[in-house]
Amino acid sequence: MKLVIAVIKPHRLEAVREALAGIGVAGMTVCEAKGFGRQKGQNEIYRGAEYAVNMLPKVRLEIACDDALAPQIVETIRNAANNGQIGDGKIFVLELAGATRIRTGESGELAL
């Protein structure tokens, strides 16, 4: 099993969700996040005064999946979240040691 973690721009969430539903992803966890990468934040002007915004709003997606589906999930997220601009996000794939469905007690891939 794999855990796919993606950090994307908030306005791309709906497009990513629809694309993932299209390939059969049944569930995901979505959290609001703040962060920065190479862009190091940005400068904003408010009422004539310039100030730095060091932490930009992002959305973090977590998807537990079968090993075989992980590459397709990564490619789908990449295509749906890509604007071609700096700050589009990152995708991480981790080994998932285990999963248990609380309601039924099923474990492993059956719990997904």
Question: What's residue 42's pLDDT?
Answer: 62
Residue-range domain boundaries for the chain: 2-41+51-111
Joined together, the tokens standing for residue 93 give 């794939």
In the CATH hierarchy, which fold is given to the domain comprising 2-41+51-111?
A: Alpha-Beta Plaits (3.30.70)
pLDDT at residue 6 above 70? Answer: yes
**Pick from 67, 56, 65: which is nearest to 29 by CA?**
65
Per-residue pLDDT of 30-69, as tens digits, reads 999 988 777 665 665 666 766 666 778 899 999 999 999 9
In angstroms, the CA 58 to CA 33 distance is: 5
For helices 13-22 and 70-81, give the axis angle rounded to 10 degrees: 140
pLDDT at residue 93 above 80? Answer: yes
Question: What's residue 40's pLDDT?
Answer: 65
Question: What's residue 4's pLDDT?
Answer: 98
